[in-house]
Amino acid sequence: MIDPMEWTAELGDESLGEDLGAEQLGAEEMLAVIRAGTGPQGSWVFTLIDAKSVERGLGPVADFVADSGLRLDRIEALSEVQSDGRIERSEDSGGYSCAEIWADGDLADEAAVRADLLELADELEMDLGLQPESEYRRERRLAVFDMDSTLIQGEVIDELAKLAGVGDQVSAVTAAAMRGEIEFQESFRRRVALLQGLPEREVRELLGRIPLMHGAERLFRTLKRMGYKTAILSGGFTFFGAHLEEILGVDHVYANVLEIAEGVVTGQVNAPIVDGARKAALLVEIAAREGVALEETIAVGDGANDLPMLRLAGMGVAFHAKPVVRAEARFAMTRVGLDGLLYLLGVADWEWV
């Protein structure tokens, strides 16, 4: 197995020839040149992420880069590299497989390129990201997260509904709300009303039943070491948010209060409800409080009510998200755990905690 840092250094050898534009070589030949490291510093970074190996994506993405009118520059491995040069994870290793393809040039329609890249990601069955190289890519300072189906593997309100015997009714409303078919505040009121009479004891027992999303702990450990502030902005409930605050060391938690009186859930909703607009406003508020520019923020979520904060943040990531959210967010991750987000920040495996 090759040390990825040494492999990347070899790719940086600039003595191998003059700059080569994509129009001069076919994709396979160009990849050989890229692996050798010719070309100037790129202004765009294409990130390829897969659970096992990104090799199958290198050729198609190189073609995509060239077809987009950019000049291919180089490949950098952010994960394990095999002895034959393949960027592929060993069976017994942790993490995933990731490579960056750097390119130089101007994009006439960045939004259209992103949409086409999302289609290519689905065809290749891997996660693909595109971003300009800038001072913010590795130097963001605030990361905010949705909670349900983002930081945890489930929807708290759906699990509460099962305990109350109204699981099917609540799940149907939840699914419609996440697809954007029902306004969130209305859907939230409907669902909470169905929970009336649920004993508090059963609510508390739920804390140990919904597991963390894969990679969440490693992501938060690494972000903390990098100096990030973190926040949960959730349309779920404060009792579960406080649980995650303790486990993950979250700096700020905003969610809805599940009103309980005389030992049972009342079914009533206390204002203000944390909906999409409220999440966006909280992102602005927390960033100002922490002295962080919006360009230095990351927002991660899966539902339609996350879109306002995903659009507002410097990096908005649709994580294991519904199609409408994936289509509108600038980044989409569906095939790896939350810690895969570190690759989009340019953080290699060996820098993870």
122 is a catalytic site residue? no
User: What's phi and psi for 224, nearest 5 deg?
Assistant: -65, -45
Active-site hit among 50, 73, 146, 275: 146
Nearest alpha carbon to residue 170 among 145, 190, 199, 142: 190
Long-range contacts of 167-176 (CB under 8 A, 24+ apart): 169/194, 170/194, 170/195
Task: Give the separation between CA 312 and CA 331, rounded to whole angstroms.
Answer: 13
Q: Does the annotation mark 168 as catalytic?
A: no
Catalytic residue among 73, 104, 148, 306: 148
Residue 273 has, within 13 A of its CA and on its CB side, a CA count of 15
Is 314:296 a contact under the CB 8 Å cutoff?
yes
Rounded to the nearest 10 degrees, how much is the dihedral formed by the CA atoms of 197, 201, 204, 209? -90
Q: How far apart are CA 333 and CA 331, in angstroms?
A: 7
- What's phi and psi for 258, nearest 5 deg? -85, 105
Cite the active site residues. 146, 148
